[in-house]
Amino acid sequence: MSTDSPKRSLVKALTWRTIASIVTALIAWFFGVPAKAIGLVFFADLVIKFILYFFHERLWAKYIKFGLVSRDK
C-alpha cells in the first residue's frame, strides 16, 4: 500500500492553492474589487487556505482509510 508523503502533500497544497487563489483574484477583479484589495485577498486566501489544506491532506493520509484500494498483486 502506498500513502502520500508530507512532501507530496506540501507540493499538492502549493499547486492547488496557487490555482485556486488566482481564480479567486480573477473573480474579485470581474466584480470590480479595487486592485489593492484583490492583492490582499489573494495573499490571505493563498496563505490561510494553504495551511488548512496541508493539514487536511495529512489527516486524510494518516487517519482516514475511506476509499483506499489495495494495490497488492
pLDDT in tens for each of the 73 residues of the chain? 567 788 988 898 889 999 999 999 999 999 999 999 999 999 998 899 999 999 998 998 889 888 887 777 6
DSSP assignment, residue 66? Answer: T
Q: What are the residue boundaries of the structural domains of the chain, listed by start?
A: 6-62
0.75 cut: is pTM over it?
A: no
C-alpha pair distances (Å), 43 with each of 17, 32, 40, 60, 68? 10, 18, 5, 26, 34
